[in-house]
Amino acid sequence: MARGKAPTFELQRATMLRAAAGQFAEKGFHNASMSAIAQACGVSKPLLYHYYRDKEHLLFDIADSYIDELLAIVASVEARKLDPEAHFSELVTRFMEEYEHAQDHHMVIVQDVKFLREEQAESVAAKQRRVVAAFADALARVEPGLKGRKLDKAVTMILFGMINWTFTWLRADGPLTFHDMAPIVTGIFLNGVR
């Protein structure tokens, strides 16, 4: 009979993913070792291998689970059935709030996903396209002319250019928070779209 998962399995796994994301963000995928990741987790290397067969497995799980979190945000905002501007504003706000606490995961998506095997990379990319499509749709609801001019995706990528890199300059100990910046980004962006 197969042994079931320990009650702390998911918590331990989440801790390992956070530690691995931190190591990958700091050192890069190739320079981060399983030993260093195990040490950062406070577990033995054999225990880490019990959860993850190799660094590639960790990398995929970090990227895949992070994009799943972003898709869950999209779904929760969609479920609220807000008017177009409120919907768009809520998406920006929720993403920026997520980015505030997910710098390492975000760095992994930006710099390390290219090291995944082709089928894994495509799985992550397909989910990323769903995120982009959700934002493009939200923008098209605010400004329907974007889609007709085939600008919805391009304008969406400009938006991601605005919000995706805030963690490189917005400091936790500074006068503004990610939450403070969300309505500023929304205002600048929507007024520019119109």
User: What's the average pLDDT block by block, 10 residues per block, for the chain (194 residues)?
Assistant: 63 91 94 94 91 94 96 98 96 94 90 94 96 96 90 92 86 87 90 66
DSSP 3: P
Q: From CA 108, how far away is CA 57, in angstroms rounded?
A: 13
pLDDT for 164? 87
User: Rounded to two decimals, what is the model's pTM?
Assistant: 0.88
Break the chain into its structural domains and give their ranges.
55-193
pLDDT for 194? 54
SS3 190: helix
Residue type, 126: A
Which residues make Cβ contacts (< 8 Å) with residue 163, sequence separation at least 6? 92, 95, 96, 99, 185
Check whether domain 55-193 has CATH 1.10.357.10, yes or no: yes
pLDDT for 27? 94
C-alpha distances in Å from residue 149, one per residue of 2, 88, 138, 146: 57, 20, 16, 5
pLDDT for 4? 55
